Chains A and B, each alone.
Chain A
Amino acid sequence: MEEFLNDLIPNVMARQDIFFKSIRETCLMVGWSGSISFLLGILFGVTITVTRPDGICSNKIVYHILDKLVNFFRSVPFIILLACLVPLTRLIMGTSIGVKGAIVPLVFGCTPFFTRQMESALAEVDPGLIEAAQSMGLGNLDIIWRVYLRESIAGIVRGTTITLISLIGLTAMAGAIGAGGLGNFAIMYGHQRNMLDVTYTTVLVLVVMVSLIQVTGNYIAKRNTH
């Protein structure tokens, strides 16, 4: 087996330690920035939903500020965002390279996208349910928790799946400018040293990762659809 692999992907086998470290780094970046973006995205998505003009606690100022902020960050290409955020990243994390340096820009790149995903998941909650809950005397926090979030679990899971997959794409880009991970691995060896087997192996690993996320997401979403 090992011989076979040595023949097939010699450059990867020769750099197994870097290869596995890259996979770990990618997982770390996705895990950390994904978790932070998930929480922030839910917070912002819910806030935008309830403060919109016909929402349960409409607030023009909060709604417009958040809405414009999300639009702003979504319109900046990620590669440029990476460069813009270097000073802020240094300030927060103490470094702008490596996995630690990648998390801040990844969160900035991912949260607005996930916020929109959350918004559309929450928008699918029938306004009639909100009205019914209000008629039962529920307060706004209860409505958010027991109706909005509870009723849109499937939608939130689908949005999370899409976001995680696009986040893997972002980590590869971050990798290209010094964050490490599979993106860095592929660019450094596969592209710059023209080791095609490295590129192909990276692609294969990414495809497997994306498929796993997709399958898991679909499964959870399905189990929560009644």
Chain B
Amino acid sequence: MEAMIKFQHVRKEFNSDGKKFLAVDDVSFDIQKGEVFGIIGFSGAGKSTLVRCINLLERPTSGQVFINGTEITELPMSKLRQKRKKIGMIFQQFNLFASRTVWDNIAFPLKGSGLSKEEKAEKVEKLLKLVELDSKADAYPSNLSGGQKQRVAIARALASDPEILLSDESTSALDPKTTKSILNLLKKVNRELGITIVVITHEMQVIKEICDRVAVMKDGKVVEIGEVFDIFANPQEQITREFVEHTSNLSKIYELVEEKSDIVRVDQEQIVWRLRYLERNVSEALVSQLSRKFDLDINIIFGNIELIGENPIGGLVAIVRGTPEQIDGAIDYLHEKNVGVEVILDGRVSE
């Protein structure tokens, strides 16, 4: 597959009050044509700066950025402006023109495109339909809800037929339901129009929902990169684990243990374990098999199993009752099945 966007040793340094700050530190990776690529990190990790190196709203201090094979940091300004028209961008704060109607906002990038008045009208109408806002053409942005504003922004970003759409925290100012509908729209844009999408976010939920691959950024560096399923199933870095934990309720068990809650009080025949499904095997009837094979009582406290792409992923926290031999046997069996087991509390050893 050919790379749509290619970062090569990109560094970006800011100078403020004589202090140097390295926002992006030697980043190299490719984003493939047609994929939805996520960049996740806490604020200040450098993800916004990195994504702005794609349309050169920020110029890298050193390193190269290739778009579709063209090295863009060397382009003269006029060529760069042409290139920018093919890279749409949407923002957390929508950035709509308050003095223009929805229609005029969407038509804004079409000025000077050489299209006739009729062609422009046709295009705007098509985009309005795509984002399901046909009825709001004459409204002003101030009369729209957050979700509607972002839809207008998406339509505007698509007006000049871009190859790439950059989304800078585009759902961070929206409620969960609206977030979902915007993410669905982005998915549709990716599938129906074949546009490569780069999503920046600090929410793993967003990555899980629409991304094919993800890069995790910390202190200006990409610390982990891979397919979203693999990252979720088997996060390598501490920060990635934090993001993944954040999306499920399973980590709540540690708080309960800390608080010595009644729920997790175990006797000598009980343990609390956490199972992690690492491979695409959740469809097996694992719990009932364990129960039958090893004669265990399994009481599920938390469960979190979700779909990433087409594959289920997640885990369970459960209290298990059985003899030490039965439990050990079950743990071995789980290892065989490539399910991660973490014994959180063991009544057999405590007290």
Contacts and interface: CB of A to CB of B under 8 A. Distances in A.
Counting chain A residues whose Cβ lies within 8 A of the other chain, the interface size class is 10 to 19
Interface string B87-127: 11101010101111000000011010000000000000000
Contact of A134 (B57, B82, B93): B57
B108 to A, nearest CB: 7
A132 B84 contact: no
Contacts of A16: none
A78 to B, nearest CB: 35
A151 B98 contact: yes
A129 interface: yes
Given A226-B140, A226-B142, A135 B89 contact: yes
Interface string A21-58: 00000000000000000000000000000000000000
Nearest to B81: A137
B276 interface: no
A135 B97 CA distance: 14
A224 B99 contact: yes
Contact of B95 (A128, A138, A150): A128
A162 interface: no
* Majority secondary structure of chain B interface residues (helix, strand, loop or mixed): mixed
B85 interface: yes
B55 interface: yes
Contact of A136 (B80, B91, B99, B108): B108
B97 A147 contact: yes
Contacts of A150: 97, 99-100
Given A131-B57, A131-B95, A136 B85 contact: yes
B160 interface: yes
Contacts of A129: 95, 97
Interface in B67-87: 77, 80-85, 87
Interface of A: 126, 128-129, 131-132, 134-139, 146-147, 150-151, 153, 224, 226
Q: What are the nearest 8 A-B pairs in CB distance? A: A137-B84, A226-B140, A132-B95, A137-B81, A135-B89, A137-B85, A128-B95, A136-B109
